[in-house]
Amino acid sequence: MIVSGLSLKTFAILVGSAAVLRAVEFCLDLRRLLRSINYLPGYRTVFSSTTVLGSLLPRMPLLALGRDHSWRLKHAPFAERGLDIISAVSFWPKPMGNMFIADVQAIKDIVWSRGLFQKPLSQYAALKVLGGNIVASEGDEWKRYHKVVARAFSERNNRLVWNATTQVILELFDTAWIGKDEVVVDHAVDLTLPIGLFVIGAAGFGRHISWKDDAVIPPGHQLTFKDALLTTSHDLFIKLLVPRWAMGFTKRFRRARLEFDELRRYLTEMIQERKGFQLKEDDKDLFSSLLAANDDENLMKDEVKLNDSELIGNMFTLMIDETIAHSLAFALALLALYTDKQEELYQHIKRVLPDGRIPTYDDMPSLSYSSAVFNEALRMFPPVTNVPKLSAENTTFTITDVNGTQKTVSVPEGITLTLAVPALHYNPKYWEDPHTFKPERFLGDWNRDAFLPFSGGYRVCVGRKFSETEGAAVLTMLFSQYTVSIKDEPQFAGESFEQRKARVLDAKSILTLAPTRLPLVFRRRT
């Protein structure tokens, strides 16, 4: 009994000593971290937003920042501290640091650096679901993908995007909306997502998809190409967030697994069909261009061809069209709320196209107000709210605080840097009256370095022109023929304009920023 008592006492002492040592080590690590960032003001929480648990928790003071704090708070946390770089230090599972950045010069330093600030690839691993790609890569691997993918984008393809978009909208008018002077859309995304996917079908894959239901499923498939495209985009978050081993647990998960398997099968078949083909004048779609750019004759010396999995992976990331669908939905809602801006857009279209003809790609530079509306929607509702980077070595940023005093911010090696896009887009230093819908701000001189909906620097999205072309074409076509308003619903009869605005522009950020619900009414112009 004495021996047993001594053993238990010894064990308790050992455990207690280990706990004390661990606590001391923890405190030293925390102090070291705080000193390394020179005690930069910001958040102090238990859970880090970069961990799975921290990213799933709602906002809880002192515990977690919340799932979408960057979107909800925008520039306010920076304004409160008088500095456009703030810190976020968390304590669990170990002391971790993050810097949120809304300063243009610091962001330029980051996005134009080719080695000092890199992507945390672990956060993008899920995007390799169909193969290695330009988004989920860094360094030499990214350069290899970029050389091939960038060659696939051209003015010829942009022209096809415009033509495909106008054709999709004309078919909408002539089929789904034919004979209707008024069309009610319960959620704007129910309209903009099919538009985007039909454009991807034509300009991305050279395959026309009709607004009319196409129930013919090819042999060897369980879904049509249209359904595979549409549902894959809709259920992307499932595939990215649910582990592969859990995809059979529920009916919804099994459906998502089928969708991705079907899309992979379609893309594999298309690669086999087009292998070895010579790009002809009529072959302007992005997939044909990508395959041609990957052909032995078009590869530069020492370039390695992309394998089929990499071709599929890159095409998949380029065709994820929920972002443009959401951006267009926000643009429609803003114009529905601000009817004076809607009328200004219509009058602009009439001045450019006085005879009412169908606009061409050559008209796009003249249709500047359409592009301005789309850009303003992207500014106010950026698709990606946080762009993470990692500092590869110790460095510093020099920024100016709210009082005009220059400050040096210490950036330790290994710390996470987050480009806080909403904070940048709502920073009054770069955007006058940033919370107000003003498309005209994009008609004159504006700070292009403070506009980051497609990322920036050498990692800027290669599909930027594709999206800009589609956005301008959709808005021009729709508002040349229809007006749009917010659907009146009895349960909201007594709300003020500000209440209505807050309701219809409500958004949530999961993978990308998405509207909660935007009920619209389209009325044919007379």
What are the phi and psi torsion angles at 514 (to 5°)? -130, 145
How many angstroms separate the Cα of 354 from the Cα of each of 23, 370, 525? 74, 16, 15
What are the Cα distances from residue 135, in Å, to 54, 131, 233? 24, 11, 17
Cα distance between residue 467 and residue 454, in whole Å: 10
Give the pairing of strands 42-47 and 85-92: parallel
The closest of 111, 113, 149 to 131, measured between CA atoms, is 149
DSSP code, position 220: T
Ramachandran region, residue 479 (left: φ > 0; alpha: ψ -120 to 50; beta: rest):
alpha
Q: Return the ∠ at Cα 450 (arms to 445 and 455), rounded to 5°.
A: 120
The beta strands (E) that lie in 48-173 are given as 85-92, 96-101, 117-118
Angle at 78 between CA 74 and CA 79, to 5 degrees: 95
| DSSP code at position 429 | T
- Reduced to 3 states (helix: H, G, I; strand: E, B; else coil), residue 393 is coil
> Which residues does residue 101 pair with via DSSP β-bridges, in sequence order?
85, 419
Alpha carbon distance 406, 409 (integer Å): 10
In this structure, are residues 188 and 520 in contact, taking their beta carbons and an 8 Å threshold? Answer: yes
State whether residue 143 is helix, strand or coil: helix
Reduce the DSSP state of residue 381 to 3 states and report it. Answer: coil
Instruction: Report the distance separating Cα 331 and Cα 204, nearest Å.
Output: 23
- Residue type at position 351: R
Please provide the distance, in angstroms rounded to a whole number, between the alpha carbons at the two ends of the chain.
Answer: 99
Residue 220 tokens read as 């060897």
Cα separation values, 508 from 358, 381, 511, Å: 36, 10, 9
Report cis status (omega within 30 of 0) of the bond before 388: no
199's tokens: 């454009």
For the chain, the residue count is 526
Measured distance CA(524)–CA(173) in Å, rounded = 10
- On the 0-12 / 13-18 / 19+ scale of CB atoms within 10 A, 34 is middle
Residue 27, annotated as binding a ligand? no
Q: Closest Cα partner for 134 from 152, 115, 154?
A: 152
Provide the 3-class DSSP secondary structure of residue 118.
Answer: strand
* Annotated binding-site positions for heme: 461
* Annotated binding-site positions: 461
